[in-house]
Amino acid sequence: MDDLIKAIHTTPIIDNHAHPLLTPAAQSKYPLLSITTEAHGDAIRATTSSLSHIRAVNQLSYVLGCPPTWEDIVKAIDIEKAKPHHVWQRRCLEGIETILVDDGLDEGDEVYDYSWHDKLVRSECKRIVRIEKIAEEIIDALLKQPDIEPEDVFGALRDAFEIAIQTAIDDPEVVGFKSIICYRTGLDVLPVVSSSEVRDSFVDYIAELQDAGIKDFKRIDGSPLNSYLVNKTAQLISMSPRRKKPLQFHTGLGDNDITLTKSSPSHLQGFIKRYPTVPVVLLHASYPWTKEAGYLASVYDNVYADIGEVFPFVSREGQEKVVREILELCPTEKILWSTDGHWFPETYLLAVIQVREALEVVFTDYVQSETLTVSQAVRAVEDIFFKTSNDLYDLHIPFKPLVSSTMPLPIRSAATSQLDTLTAFLNEYTSTKFLRLQYLDYTSTPRVRIIPVKKALSLLENSPQLSIGITKASLSLLQNDTNIPGANPTGEYRLQADLSSLRPGPYEGFAFVQGEFHEADGQIVDLCPRSLLRRWTKEAKSQNLEFLVGFEIEIVFMSRAEDGTLETLSNSGGHAWSSNRALHGNKMLDMLHQIYDSLAVSGIYLEQWHPESATGQYEFVLPSLPPLQAADMLLHAREIITTVVAGYSMRATLYPKPFSNMAGTASHIHISISSPDGDKEEVYEPFYAGVLKHLPAIIPFTYSSPASYERMVDSAWAGGRWVAWGTQNRETALRKIEGSHFEIKVIDGLANVYLALAAIIVAGTLGVRDKLELTLKDCLKDPAQLSDEERQALGIKEMLPKDLESALQALEEDTELTEQVGKDIVVRYVQVKKAEIDLLNGMRAPERKQWIMERY
């Protein structure tokens, strides 16, 4: 199932029908409320109580990071629009490969040209020519000619229209045509209308306009000319010796200018039969006539069904119903999709978010019911989003999955309160009895408070936030629950649940939720590690930097001796990297199977997993998410794994070097810049230059225990001891994979992941802010094996700190990084780590190793 979900969120979208965005000068002329409704005038006021609007408010509030009210949404959008380089517009169109732009909706000076939109998507945009607009512009120009006779207007129109359509057929920038006859006369297109019939009707019409002194012609309406234009266009397309360009029809859903009973595509059946070689696209899911569209596309070779515009104009349930109804009859290779985005970029954003959500619901249901296999469902997704349009419009765009997954918004983010969120979760996971309210302290010890769900619901009945009191000493404790010297044990924080992190697990009846520290008055505690990552993710976003982060969990399974000590995993002889031998034995396979299933129940779908090099060592690769969600997922996944393993009388440990003669255990971070232009060198090189500049000061966060430095060795695929980077080089601290996708290798499982990831983002963001150059060159060999001259040529001069004491000193000396991370955090972190060093120094080496393995 994870292959299907990944396909839904990484398949690029060819938007086969949309309209241009408004220029800044024209935006105030149109209501932003129109992003979820076809209503106009006084009717638009009531849209705020529609399901589509309420859903859009909740989703936009999540994206914008503002309260879920329309007033706050408008303010937040105004702030985003003020940013340079069209950052907000690019974010809204994220995941769209190209747009086929119908530029006949608005006046040219109010909207951007179709080609302007190239800067917002991956491939060049193309034109859809609206045929009525061509005719109306011709008529308008003719009426402005002095003393022109009505008969001459028709003759000139007929000739000019044919020339314009033929020119468009020959123009490679035009990939199709569009008719809005649905708005004019309805879809019951008259059979081929003779020129004399059209002329007589049209001449009388023009004469009436001239008698009334009207020279500004805007609209062809209710005339045989409407049918004439459609038929003439179809005739010219059918006669083209080249590949036939499609003719799109507005069907169904529209504003109150439409006659609903005449908007069903069933009225087009005669027209479809008359022009069997002309590809006909039925736009807008033909809503509410979706089944009719599916029928026509299934029985006529030249008919295709577009299921756009219902996203975001229709409720969630309605959208899912549309997808199911079109699939009742229509082959997936005859279905395509569009945003019908217009005027405001938010229409694109909401449409893309919502269609991916709908396809995930419908297709996972079809797979679970065995209606489709996973591969068949993946093919259907690729057809709808990309392949059908690519072929139909002859675009020749290579299919290239998105570099970063456009993962869906959490469904629970749409809740209006924490009480609603928790109630919805409990309705979905009915066996949940306890909430594990968790936090990660400065020693990277996961700590937890268990709250029965009945108590949690009771608390939320009387408070908008789920929080409990917790001693201020919780952020100054060592692993043995003693307070660090000088820390004040008095006072209390509020540990507040972030219910967007809510997941089932790690055991039946439990659910995870991550907490953040607040003062009694609600203010965020400066020392809170998770809040630091949240704050710097937001700060980086203000610098036009957004990220996707994926973690690798390397973990070692160990057996227990009779005296309770940990020892090498039994029956593990022959264990090696990616070896089949490491998968032998029913007990091991049962355990790994249970790990996978337990993660899936929690909504964590592994990318892959395999045996690693050390005996009993395995690696589990997590999917990529934004930084905070990725860090939460990592902690949840580790807890699930260790809980499952404990049920098999084993211990899963993150100890960095369990065996001195074998590979160590890391927690590699994969990070890519997912914001627009993130894969351009001028964006990502300064970011990684900042990381490399501050890497010695980042190391105490990523190698946070004295035991971490047992793994920091050269020539062992562990990232080595040098400040360096290299393309696909596992011996450098940073391994470049592709574009902005780098792997941070110098981190292990003992790190507080919130602090470590925050420090990396801080350093990289500083690099972008200061426009640092990546002076270190691409190292393609093991830095430890290079001569001094070779290292000098690559700019490799600095070694990483050799132990935790040296690393903490490097952090304190890096005043720039310290100031941005927060002096209070750095001071507290250094105090805790120095006290931890003293604690561990009081143990013998074997005792110290066992002590750490039992805790991590």
State which fold the 2-122+176-185+243-392 domain adopts: TIM Barrel (3.20.20)
The residue behind tokens 């997993």 is: 609
Whether residue 706 has a cis bond before it, omega within 30° of 0: no
Q: Is pLDDT above 80 for 529? A: yes
CA distance 100 to 693: 44
Greater pLDDT, 368 or 433: 433
Question: Of 197-206, 404-413, 534-543, where does the model show the most confidence?
Answer: 534-543
Q: How confident is the model at residue 593 (pLDDT cuts 50, 70, 90)?
A: confident
442-445-448 Cα angle (round to 5): 110
Integer Cα distance of 364 and 26 in angstroms: 42
In the predicted structure, residue 218 carries a pLDDT above the cut 90: no
Kindly indicate the confidence band of residue 46, based on its pLDDT and cuts at 50, 70 and 90.
confident
Write the pLDDT tens digit of every residue in 252-298. 988 877 888 889 999 999 999 999 999 999 999 999 999 999 999 99
Torsion-angle region of 121 (φ positive above 0: left; ψ -120 to 50: alpha; else: beta):
beta
**pLDDT tens for residues 94-127?**
889 999 999 887 767 788 888 888 888 989 999 9
User: Is the fold of 412-525 the same as that of 536-855?
Assistant: no
Query: Per CATH, which fold does 536-855 belong to?
Result: Creatine Kinase; Chain A, domain 2 (3.30.590)
Residue 645 in this model has a pLDDT that exceeds 70: yes
- Does residue 345 have a cis peptide bond before it, meaning omega lies within 30 degrees of 0? no
- pLDDT, position 406: 46
Q: What gap in Å lies between CA 400 and CA 437, rounded to an integer?
A: 41
Lowest mean pLDDT among 289-303, 403-417, 730-744, 774-788: 403-417
> Does residue 130 contact residue 102 with C-beta atoms inside 8 Å?
yes
**CA–CA separation, 224 vs 433, rounded Å?**
69
CB 417 within 8 A of CB 464: yes
Judged against a pLDDT cut of 80, whether residue 197 lies above it is answered with no
Q: Which of 46-50, 96-100, 326-330, 754-758 has the lowest mean pLDDT?
A: 46-50
- Identity (one letter) of the amino acid at 701? F
Check whether 462 has a pLDDT greater than 90.
no
Average pLDDT over residues 602-625: 87
Structure tokens at 67: 């309260």
- Please report how the helices 224-239 and 150-170 are oriented relative to each other, as an axis angle in degrees rounded to 10: 30
Q: Residue range 310-333: average pLDDT?
A: 92
8 Å CB contact between 100 and 125? yes
Nearest alpha carbon to residue 102 among 17, 213, 225, 224: 17
Residues 787, 563 contacting (CB under 8 angstroms): no
What is the band of 198 on the pLDDT scale with cuts at 50, 70, 90?
Answer: confident
pLDDT for the residue 725: 93
Considering the entire predicted model, what is its pTM? 0.59
* Range from 13-22, 447-456, 653-662, 713-722 carrying the lowest mean pLDDT: 713-722
- Residue-range domain boundaries for the chain: 2-122+176-185+243-392, 412-525, 536-855
Assess whether pLDDT exceeds 80 at residue 430: yes
Please give the structure tokens belonging to residue 678: 């993130």
Q: What secondary structure letter does DSSP report for 41?
A: G
Check residue 414 and give its pLDDT: 36
Q: Under 8 Å CB-to-CB from 482, ≥6 apart: which residues?
A: 839
**Residue 542, pLDDT score:** 83
SS3 191: coil
Contacts for 132-135 with beta carbons within 8 Å, 24 or more apart?
Answer: 132/104, 132/179, 132/180, 132/181, 132/184, 132/220, 132/226, 132/229, 133/104, 134/104, 134/161, 134/164, 134/165, 135/161, 135/220, 135/225, 135/229
CB of 271 within 8 A of CB of 190?
no
Share of the chain above pLDDT 90, in %: 52
How far apart CA 767 and CA 751 sit, in angstroms, is: 23
Q: Is the dihedral angle over the CA atoms 732, 737, 743, 745 positive or is it negative?
A: negative
Mean pLDDT, residues 305-327 taken together: 92
Six token digits for residue 554: 């390397």
Buried b (16+ CB within 10 A) or exposed e, 148-181: eebeebbebbbebbeebbeebbeeeebbbbbbbb
The pLDDT, as a whole number, for residue 649 is: 87
Q: How far is residue 677 CA from its own chain's centroid?
A: 15
pLDDT-based confidence at residue 193 (cuts at 50, 70, 90): low
pLDDT of residue 140: 87
Q: Find the mean pLDDT for residues 753-769.
A: 95
Cα angle 709, 714, 718; round to 5 = 65
Query: CB of 555 within 8 A of CB of 548?
Result: no
Q: What is the pLDDT of residue 194?
A: 65
CB-based contacts of 404: which residues, under 8 Å, 6+ apart?
A: 10, 548, 624, 672, 674
Give the residue among 104, 127, 129, 102 at the shortest CA–CA distance from 308: 102
Average pLDDT over residues 762-780: 94
Paired tokens of 739: 């574009």
Q: Convert 136-187 into a string of H (helix), E (strand) and C (coil).
A: HHHHHHHHCCCCCCHHHHHHHHHHHHHHHHHHHHHCCCEEEEEECHHHHCCC
Q: Does residue 415 have a pLDDT over 60?
A: no
Query: Measuring CA to CA, which residue among 618, 621, 620 is closest to residue 650?
Result: 618
| pLDDT number for residue 222 | 67
Region 779-808 average pLDDT: 92
The per-residue pLDDT for 564 is: 82
Question: What is the C-alpha to C-alpha distance for residues 259 and 282, in angstroms, rounded to an integer?
Answer: 17
The answer, yes or no, to whether residue 585 has pLDDT greater than 70, is yes
Instruction: Say yes or no to pLDDT of 416 above 90.
Output: no
Handedness of CA 46, 49, 55, 56 (dihedral sign): positive
Burial of 750 (0-12, 13-18, 19+ CB in 10 A): buried
> 771's torsion region: left (phi>0), alpha (psi -120 to 50) or beta?
left
Report, as an integer, the average pLDDT of 188-200.
77
Is 658:744 a contact under the CB 8 Å cutoff?
no
Average pLDDT of span 319-324: 93
CB atoms within 10 A of CB 4: 24
Q: How far apart are CA 477 and CA 484, in angstroms?
A: 6
Task: Catalogue the long-range contacts made by 388-391 (C-beta closer than 8 Å, 24 or more residues apart).
Answer: 388/304, 388/332, 388/333, 388/334, 388/335, 388/336, 389/14, 389/16, 389/100, 389/336, 389/337, 390/14
Q: Which residues pair with 671 in a beta bridge?
A: 549, 742
**Whether 151 contacts 199, CB under 8 Å:** yes
**Residue 482 predicted with pLDDT over 80:** yes
Superfamily of domain covering 412-525: Glutamine synthetase, N-terminal domain (3.10.20.70)
Compute the mean pLDDT over every residue in the chain, rounded to the nearest whole number: 88
